Amino acid sequence: MKKVYYVILFLTLSIMVVSSIYYKVIQRPEESEILLTKAFKSSGADIVKSEINFWGKLNVHLKNVNNMKQLADNLTGNLNVKKDNTYSSNIIDNNQLLELKVNCKTVDGKLVAIYIQSLKAADQGKDEVSVTVTKDLGYNDLIQIRRDVEKAFKKYDIVPKVNSCITGSINRKLNQKEIEDLCSLTIKKIEAIKVEGIKDEKLESISAYSPLINDSVTVNGKRINLNLAIRYNTNENKTYIWLATPVITIEY
């Protein structure tokens, strides 16, 4: 009887463990920025800066500047922004659109840019809002900022599209074999497969797809959600690396 009891206990615990693992892996996948940082760390580059951009559409028209300013305050409120001489806003109001641009800094120096746009014609679609955070973002910053901004967006029922990019450098020129190894190791770190790429004497760029990252875009009929670029800077004698999900949107 005891043996039956222990068998049942063992099976019960095993099911609980398997269920827990399944829930963690399948039901709660890792955030894109966690996967992005894992891949970037495998490159061996030193982080230079990072950028994260959010874009989405509101379900309603904001109608006036006061409503826009309230939305901007809610977005910056979660980011601990300073309301001092570093905070500036600009309003465009004409027959076609109403737009608010806000540039500011967080207390620890991160740059925040907010754009809110409302097209006045009733048939032009919903109002748009974007938030970009840049400058000296460490690995944990990317992850936390995404959580904070998404929390603010949620108040307005906005499910944003998010694009994150990490820029890094290596203090020397890499040979072709090292570049190929770096590309291979970086994308394989998060089970990504190369979709397409370009290469010339100055730049190598790879677009890849990882099943671990939820977000993706379609380019030339192909799904991608990881973009890697490598360029050597002769003036600085440094090899720069850009790694983004889903794509690199900054100039490189």
Q: What residue numbers bound the domain in which 73 lies?
A: 32-245
Beta bridge partners of 52: 133, 164
pLDDT at 120: 73
Q: How many domains does the chain have?
A: 1
Q: What is the pLDDT of residue 43?
A: 92
* Percent of the chain residues past pLDDT 70, beyond the cut: 85
d(CA 184, CA 193): 9
Q: What amino acid is encoded at 133 in this protein?
A: V
pLDDT in tens, 70-94: 889 888 888 889 888 899 999 998 8
Q: Work out the angle between the directed axes of helices 139-154 and 65-77 (0-180°, nearest 10).
A: 140
Q: Is 50 exceeded by the pLDDT of residue 5?
A: no
Q: What is the pLDDT of residues 159-173, one digit of tens each?
A: 899 999 999 999 999
Instruction: Classify residue 4: in a domain, yes or no.
Output: no
Give the per-residue pLDDT at 190: 95
Burial of 25 (0-12, 13-18, 19+ CB in 10 A): exposed
Nearest alpha-carbon partner for 171 in 126, 232, 91: 232
**Alpha carbon distance 204, 193 (integer Å):** 16
Please report, for residues 16, 37, 168, 190, the alpha-carbon distance to residue 137 in angstroms, rounded to integers and kept in the order given: 38, 12, 12, 21
Whole-model pTM: value is 0.81
**Other residues' Cβ atoms within 10 Å of the Cβ of residue 80:** 12
Residues 80, 104: contact at Cβ < 8 Å?
no
Q: Is residue 41 part of a domain?
A: yes
pLDDT at position 123 = 52
Query: How far is 91 from 102, CA to CA, in rounded Å?
Result: 9
Asked whether residue 225 is assigned to any structural domain, the reply reads yes
User: 12 lies in a domain?
Assistant: no
139-192, pLDDT tens digit by residue?
778 888 888 888 888 888 888 999 999 999 999 999 999 999 999 999 999 999
- Rounded Cα distance, 54 and 160, in Å: 6
Determine, yes or no, domain membership for 22: no
222 touches 195 (CB < 8 A):
yes
What does DSSP say about strands 128-134 and 111-119: parallel, antiparallel, or unpaired?
antiparallel
Mean pLDDT along residues 21-47: 73
The angle formed by the CA atoms of residues 105, 154 and 164, to the nearest 5 degrees, is: 55
Segment 107-134, tens digit of pLDDT: 888 899 999 998 876 555 578 899 999 8
Q: Residue 204's pLDDT is what?
A: 93
Residue 125 located in a structural domain: yes
For 199-237, the pLDDT digits (tens) are: 887 899 999 999 999 888 998 889 999 999 999 999 999
Judge whether 23 lies within some domain: no
What does the pLDDT read at residue 125? 57
Looking at the domain assignment, is residue 2 inside a domain? no
